[in-house]
């Protein structure tokens, strides 16, 4: 591990697998303390253990982002034990295929509750400490399906991820004067369990076919997104706020 001069405290939601896992490892490599959260307890604990085994600093905390009480309690504990959060990576999300004829209010609400409201639940209680320090970085995960594309049978997901763009912009403007930056990442086709699910996404065969349309000629990997998240939370992005960056191998600009 490359130890940071002043280790920060990083909260990653949905940190047990995929992009969340890669982000947790990226921050740990730079010497930060990572609070890995997920509802997947086995996977989340494994990430924290992997970081510690490599000489890094991490802990696992089970967090269901649908629970305001759980989010408030976790952030309060971090405030008490570590003086507050320096970075939030709001990554937890679901993307379930549901045709319009089957899209109930309950399914719509579940998706928004996790993919959009779940973000403000962890951000809101962390703000008093960030404001007191006049410093902080927040990175929210959107999707190319929220910033540019429509996705059939995923209307609820596309709408929630579009909402993330508005969340980023609104928070960025409100918090900029207090030293807190808010940005987003909109991944393209990334090799994760979600993408490779035939039930809810492209499946492995469909994903490989999609790669043919990507100008860079390959699917993205979780590390490709994690490195951008890490950059956005770093001092190298000190004058960047309110932006949602598409990381997609050129897919959006290359489709014509």
Q: Which residues are catalytic?
A: 157
Going through the chain in order, the beta strands assigned E by DSSP cover 9-12, 33-38, 57-62, 87-90, 136-141, 180-187, 244-247
Question: Sheet harboring 57-62: ordered strands across?
Answer: 57-62, 33-38, 9-12, 87-90, 136-141, 180-187, 244-247
Say how many residues make up the chain: 256
Q: Residue 214 carries which DSSP code?
A: S
**Is 43 within 8 Å of 36 (Cβ atoms)?**
no
Retrieve residue 80's tokens.
Answer: 């008490």
Q: Which of 25, 86, 19 is nearest to 57 (CA)?
A: 25
- What are the tokens at 43? 């996977």
């Amino acid at each position: 591990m490359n130890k940071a001069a002043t280790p920060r405290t990083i909260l990653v939601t949905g940190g047990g697998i995929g992009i969340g896992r890669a982000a947790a490892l990226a921050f740990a490599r730079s010497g930060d303390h990572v609070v890995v959260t997920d509802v997947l307890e086995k996977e989340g604990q494994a990430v924290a253990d992997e970081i510690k085994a490599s000489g890094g600093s991490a802990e696992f905390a089970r967090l269901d982002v649908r629970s305001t009480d759980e989010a408030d309690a976790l952030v309060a504990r971090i405030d008490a034990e570590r003086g507050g959060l320096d970075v939030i990576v709001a990554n937890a999300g679901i993307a379930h295929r549901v045709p319009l004829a089957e899209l109930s209010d309950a399914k719509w609400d579940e998706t928004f509750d996790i993919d959009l409201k779940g973000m403000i639940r962890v951000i809101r209680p962390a703000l008093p400490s960030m404001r007191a320090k006049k410093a902080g970085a927040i990175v929210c995960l959107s999707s190319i399906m929220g910033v540019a594309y429509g996705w059939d049978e995923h209307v609820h997901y596309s709408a929630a991820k579009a909402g993330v763009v508005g969340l980023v912009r609104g928070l960025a403007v409100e918090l900029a004067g207090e030293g807190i930056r808010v940005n987003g990442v909109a991944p393209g086709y990334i090799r994760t369990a979600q993408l490779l699910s035939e039930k809810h996404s492209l499946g492995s065969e469909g994903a490989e076919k999609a790669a043919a349309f990507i100008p860079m000629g390959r699917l993205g990997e979780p590390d490709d997104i994690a490195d951008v998240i890490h950059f956005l939370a770093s001092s190298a992005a000190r004058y960047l706020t309110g932006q949602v960056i598409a990381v997609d191998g050129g897919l959006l600009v290359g489709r014509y």
